[in-house]
């Protein structure tokens, strides 16, 4: 048995520190080696204890979590899981933290939450196992092709991602021109975060990015992000495809689930689709991507070296669902190659 993941818990609330410590200590593969109430205490504790993982509150006295995270990533890069309030302000800050380099995020529980921090221990263990180079500088963003340079075909693009997906999706979608193929995305994310993430992507990318709504028509130049929470995103509609938000039990422990999205794209579009599976814990999306490939779709997977967590892409690759494994920097351009209209017409 490998050594337990060693965690430092940083939060200005003694109650929250105690709750996080209790949740993590219930897992024998996690060891809470210290607590800190602010960034100054945390800095000394990191030097003294050398934890494998830090859980970090965003709103703290003396120095907020975002500023402290930037210092960690500059001076002593290591896996950090952000703990945030489930508010619009908290979502915006958390998304900024994920772009800076935080491993993942969890929401602070509300009153009467039955399983507070339910998957935090799994995220901590995944963070401790990761071989990601946190000090690795971000690649320069190349401008997307112009509308005039890209002739879109008739394909639909479906993308699934989880841990590490914020950075990965930004890297992929910033390669898309304003007239990109209709694109549907399921990213595992707390309910209140997806609207803020869609707004952030819309500011950063050339196409229109929006949180998917039930009945929204799939259109060229638009990207639809599954809302977190109570429903799954599917596509349907035959010759006039649209988004559908459906009430179903969680699949692979997730709602929305990547498998549910990919299954619907396989049935609706068949060979007129491209499926992409990016970084993430677990296996959600692997079976659905295999179904897409069997239906004639082109399928891509992020390679191990560039994944924050090589979980979902690994399972998909082992199942034979992935036609090509590519580094993150190449995926956006490959999607455009596969969805561009042929010279003699569209496909």
> Catalytic positions, please?
162, 188, 284
CA distance readout (Å), 268 to 38, 84, 160, 273: 51, 38, 17, 9
| Calpha distance 292→184 (Å, rounded) | 14
| Calpha distance 14→309 (Å, rounded) | 31
| Calpha distance 177→225 (Å, rounded) | 17
- Tell me which DSSP letter residue 226 carries: P
Q: What contacts 224, CB < 8 A, 6 or more positions away?
A: 182, 183, 184, 185, 210, 211, 212, 216, 218, 233, 243
User: Strand pairing partners for 107?
Assistant: 84
Residue pair 280/286 in contact (Cβ under 8 Å)? The answer is no
Q: How many CB atoms lie within 10 A of CB 12?
A: 17
**Size (the chain), residues:** 347
Going by C-alpha positions, the residue among 5, 33, 316 that lies closest to residue 161 is: 316
**Beta strand 232-236 with 242-246: parallel, antiparallel or unpaired?**
antiparallel
User: Strand pairing partners for 224?
Assistant: 184, 210
């Amino acid at each position: 048995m490998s050594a337990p993941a060693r965690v430092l818990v940083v939060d200005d609330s003694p109650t929250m520190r105690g709750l996080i410590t209790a949740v993590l200590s219930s897992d024998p593969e996690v060891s809470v080696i210290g607590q800190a109430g602010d960034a100054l205490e945390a800095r000394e504790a990191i030097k003294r204890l050398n934890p494998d993982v830090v859980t970090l509150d965003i709103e703290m006295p003396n120095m907020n979590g975002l500023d402290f995270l930037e210092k960690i990533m500059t001076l002593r890069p290591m896996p950090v899981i952000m703990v945030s309030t489930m508010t619009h302000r908290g979502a915006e800050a958390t998304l900024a933290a994920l772009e800076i380099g935080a491993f993942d995020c969890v929401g602070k529980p509300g009153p009467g939450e039955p399983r507070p921090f339910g998957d935090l221990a799994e995220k901590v263990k995944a963070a401790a196992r990761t071989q990601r180079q946190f000090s690795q500088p971000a690649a320069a963003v190349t401008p997307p092709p112009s509308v005039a340079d890209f002739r879109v075909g008739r394909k639909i693009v479906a993308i699934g991602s989880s841990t590490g997906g914020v950075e990965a999706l930004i890297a992929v979608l910033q390669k898309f021109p304003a007239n990109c193929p209709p694109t549907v995305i399921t990213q595992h994310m707390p309910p209140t975060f997806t609207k803020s993430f869609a707004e952030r992507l819309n500011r950063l990318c050339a196409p229109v990015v929006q949180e998917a709504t039930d009945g929204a028509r799939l259109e060229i130049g638009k990207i639809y992000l599954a809302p977190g929470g109570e429903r799954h995103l599917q596509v349907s509609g035959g010759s006039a495809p649209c988004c559908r938000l459906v009430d179903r039990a969680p699949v692979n422990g997730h709602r929305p689930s990547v498998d549910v999205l990919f299954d619907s794209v396989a049935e609706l579009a068949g060979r007129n689709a491209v499926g992409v599976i990016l970084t993430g814990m677990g296996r959600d999306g692997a079976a659905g991507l295999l179904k897409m490939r069997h239906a004639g779709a082109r399928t891509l997977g992020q390679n191990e070296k560039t994944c924050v967590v090589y979980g979902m892409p690994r399972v998909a690759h082992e199942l034979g669902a992935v036609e090509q494994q590519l580094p993150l920097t190449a995926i956006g351009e490959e999607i455009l190659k596969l969805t561009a209209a042929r010279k003699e017409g569209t496909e």
